[in-house]
Chain A
Amino acid sequence: MGKFHLGSLLAAGAILAVGFSTQANAEGKHGMYANGEIRSGYTYLTPQSKAIQNDDFQNPGMIWVDDGATLYEAVDGKAGKSCKACHGKAEVAMKGVATTYPKYDEDTKKIKNIEAQVNRCRTKHMQAKPWKYESGQLLAMTVFIRHQSRGMPMNVSVDGPAVPFFQKGEKFYKQRRGALDMACSNCHIDNAGKNARANLLSQGQTNGFPTYRLKWQKVGSTHRRFRGCNKQVRATPYKYASDEYMNLELYVAWRGRGLPVETPAVRN
């Protein structure tokens, strides 16, 4: 534990200095971390910070992968089952699953993300209590599931029944909000690559989530990040797992199509 936190402190300094190094990166130099003009937040990091994400022994997010692996095998709920009892080895069963999430859900006729599917399995298939959003367990399991797709390209479906939800997500993304009257697009489309004081603005991609953030000193979900980005423009955030954020998550995942799943990514 202590070792990991030391690593994260080093990363804090490294990421802060980011603005001065990335501008020099020409297009095409980002390798697998870009798909044409679409760039992962990774490409905006300093080499030092990238190194921390790259090295599983230094990456603090790997703690949650380990916790998730343990939970995956643990029996819980009245049905007396573990995740593994139904799904088998995660390395096989969950490989590639995260690349298609969030996705349209036939049961609820809404968009569900990995967190929602995990809780569906807990309540419906295990007869266990759902995990609270942003709890250690739900984060660990989400990190663990998404980690099984690490390196695979994001590929969510935004046609068919997903269309109206995708459109709502896009509308949310482009709507100005809060007392600062800014839309997501004002920062992450219009000004990606520019500095807002010490912050180098990225495209705001979600391919690395749940992400280990130095500011949080833990991993956090996409919805936590959305809430933070809402509050910083002095706008009222939506609730975790709200329909609004599910739709937004779908739209943002589509923006990052082709980017590799990086979970657990390391960010400032």
Chain B
Amino acid sequence: MGIRTLAAVAVGVALSLAVNGDAAAAKLVKYKIVDETSIPKSLTGKPGDAKKGRALAINRKKGNCLACHAMPIPEQPFHGNIGTDLSGAGGRYSEGELRLRLVDSKVVNPDTIMPAFYKNTGFHRVLKKFKGKTILSAQEVEDIIAYVKTLK
């Protein structure tokens, strides 16, 4: 319920373009959720860079996907098992589904532990230095999508 409202707000807000798609920008790039399952259109219109996406998935301050997911990244010693193994995820999900998963996982599953990587409001007691910021910039979301799409 609350989640749907938030998503609608995100769509509805009039948005000035974030400077360089910077994660520090207060306003988000406009996006549209279709059928509550997917965000078909790219957030930036620019193709993602899979190589950068892989590095972001490892980076503890950015995607940190490895905290919860096993991934085909053998040089990293510890992979979490809170979430599913993402090997093959590129074949299981469409690009739009992956985008919604990353932007705001709770639209798909309100109880999930997976953070919303492209959301900056509606949180409780955010530490000052993270206030108003998203975990990933719009382009970083696209980079990770490009990487996960290679996992077939």
Residues of A within 8 A of B (CB): 19, 175-182, 186-187, 190-191, 194-198, 201, 230-231, 234-236
| Number of chain B residues close to chain A: CB under 8 A | 23
Q: Shortest CB–CB separation between residue A239 and chain B, in angstroms?
A: 13
Cβ contact within 8 Å between B81 and A179: no
Q: Mark B111-148, 1 if CB is under 8 A from A, else 0.
A: 00101100000011111101001010000000000000
Cβ contact within 8 Å between B127 and A197: no
Q: Which residues of B contact A177 (CB under 8 A)?
A: 123-125
Residues of B within 8 A of A (CB): 60, 66-68, 77-82, 106, 113, 115-116, 123-128, 130, 133, 135
Q: Which residues of A contact B135 (CB under 8 A)?
A: 179-180
A-B contact pairs, 30 of them (CB 8 A): A19-B78, A176-B124, A177-B123, A177-B125, A178-B123, A178-B126, A178-B127, A179-B126, A179-B133, A179-B135, A181-B106, A181-B123, A182-B115, A194-B80, A194-B82, A195-B81, A196-B67, A196-B68, A196-B80, A196-B82, A197-B60, A197-B80, A198-B77, A201-B82, A230-B125, A234-B126, A234-B130, A236-B125, A236-B126, A236-B128
Q: Shortest CB–CB separation between residue A204 and chain B, in angstroms?
A: 14
Lowest 6 A-B CB distances belong to which pairs? A198-B78, A179-B130, A197-B78, A177-B124, A186-B113, A236-B125
Cβ contact within 8 Å between A197 and B79: yes
Q: Which residues of A contact B124 (CB under 8 A)?
A: 175-178, 181, 235
Q: Shortest CB–CB separation between residue A195 and chain B, in angstroms?
A: 5
Known A-B contacts A177-B123, A179-B126, A236-B127; the reply to A195 vs B78 at CB < 8 A is yes
Docked Cα-Cα span, A155 to B106, in Å, equals 37
Q: Which residues of A contact B79 (CB under 8 A)?
A: 195, 197
Cβ contact within 8 Å between B66 and A197: yes
Q: Shortest CB–CB separation between residue A198 and chain B, in angstroms?
A: 4
Q: Which residues of B contact A190 (CB under 8 A)?
A: 113
Beyond known contacts A178-B127, A194-B80, A194-B81: 5 more, CB 8 A cutoff: A178-B130, A179-B123, A198-B78, A235-B124, A236-B127
Q: Which residues of A contact B77 (CB under 8 A)?
A: 198
Cβ contact within 8 Å between B115 and A181: yes
Closest to B77 in A: A198
Select which of B66, B78, B80, B116 is within 8 A of A181 by beta carbon: B116
Q: Shortest CB–CB separation between residue A188 and chain B, in angstroms?
A: 11
Docked Cα-Cα span, A231 to B133, in Å, equals 16
Closest to A187 in B: B113
Q: Shortest CB–CB separation between residue B61 and chain A, in angstroms?
A: 10
Q: Shortest CB–CB separation between residue A202 and chain B, in angstroms?
A: 14
Closest to B64 in A: A197
Docked Cα-Cα span, A140 to B90, in Å, equals 54
Q: Shortest CB–CB separation between residue A203 and chain B, in angstroms?
A: 15
Q: Which residues of B contact A197 (CB under 8 A)?
A: 60, 66-67, 78-80
Q: Which residues of A contact B127 (CB under 8 A)?
A: 178-179, 231, 234-236
Docked Cα-Cα span, A190 to B128, in Å, equals 28
Closest to A193 in B: B81
Q: Which residues of A contact B133 (CB under 8 A)?
A: 179
Q: Shortest CB–CB separation between residue B108 and chain A, in angstroms?
A: 14
Q: Which residues of B contact A186 (CB under 8 A)?
A: 113
Docked Cα-Cα span, A19 to B79, in Å, equals 11
